[in-house]
Homo-oligomer: A and B are copies of this chain.
Amino acid sequence: MNKEKVLVIKIGGNSIDNPKELVAFLETIATIKTPFILVHGGGKLATDLAEKLNIPQQLIDGRRITNAETIKIATMVYAGYINKNIVALLQKNNKNSIGLSGADANLIQTTKRVHPTIDYGFVGDLHTTSINTEFIENLLNFDLTPVVNAITHDGKGELLNTNADSIANALAVSLASKYEVSLLYCFEKNGVLYDPSNDDSVIHELNHQQFEELKQQGIISKGMLPKLDNCFHALQNGVQTIAILKATLILGFLNHTNHEYTRIIK
């Protein structure tokens, strides 16, 4: 028997920062007939709010620290403002959706990061049993579209900030035994690029060996590295299709008319 299809769609910060783009993206994905889960990051809104409130961004050894004030802002912006606006806009487009943090229905329980020398603050790391897969399945069975933000909890009363790419990965992997899962990282570029300044230089297919080579050559760097680590982890754990693509071209990807994207292969 063929497994049912499910998409896990991660939308990046840049698309959230531009309200017109976000509205258009949500109108677009509301037309997708395959059940999907939307995972969203934060964008600049949280940074802007911290600035307005004069809460300094704390950095130790170049790594961002989520102190008590910062997790409060992240919770307000990600789980409140962005999440509820996305849900209201999907409802407008007749896509019945439900916004969820990791605390809701114990959807994502993480562990507060422990590091020998750096106190990262309220940051949660995913583990293999983090996802409440049964609850997600129930929502999908009720034709509800889960909209998941990056705030998780530790089960001990603390809310924790968690990487949204990693959440998308963990959700995709957790569903892979029951569903045929596609994991789609949507952002503002055409895919993984040979030359970050040239949107036409898409790497169309990328396997792990090529990834390691391009990493050593410095062609793939920075924020793309953890995203691709997540992709290869998903590939090794039963996720069927993994792609990095431009948010505005998602329908073309799904109906096979857009060929400009990066597919992660074995």
Contacts and interface: CB of A to CB of B under 8 A. Distances in A.
Contacts of A138: 142
Contacts of A97: 104-105
A157 interface: yes
Contacts of A91: 103, 106, 153, 155, 157
Contacts of A72: 81
Interface stretch (A82-90, A174-182, A237-245, A252-260): A82-90
Contacts of A157: 88-89, 91-92
A53 interface: yes
A96 B106 CA distance: 7
Given A81-B80, A155-B91, A157-B89, A101 B103 contact: no
Contact of A76 (B80, B98, B100, B156): B80
A77 interface: yes
The majority secondary structure among interface residues of chain A is: helix
A151 interface: yes
Contact of A104 (B76, B99, B142, B151): B99
A87 B75 contact: no
A144 interface: yes
Contact of A85 (B52, B75, B85): B75
Give the contact-size bracket for chain A: 35 or more
A38 interface: no
Given A98-B104, A99-B104, A156-B92, A76 B81 contact: yes
Contacts of A131: none
A85 B81 CA distance: 15
Contacts of A159: 84-85, 88
A52 B53 CA distance: 7
A222 B263 CA distance: 63
A29 to B, nearest CB: 15
A155 B88 CA distance: 7
24 contacts: A52-B53, A72-B81, A75-B80, A76-B77, A77-B80, A78-B80, A79-B84, A80-B81, A80-B83, A80-B84, A87-B101, A87-B103, A87-B104, A87-B153, A88-B153, A88-B157, A88-B159, A91-B153, A91-B155, A92-B155, A96-B105, A96-B106, A98-B100, A99-B104
State the 4 A-B residue pairs at the shortest beta-carbon distance, nearest first.
A80-B80, A76-B76, A92-B157, A76-B80
Interface of A: 52-53, 72, 75-81, 83-85, 87-89, 91-92, 96-101, 103-106, 138, 142, 144, 151, 153, 155-159
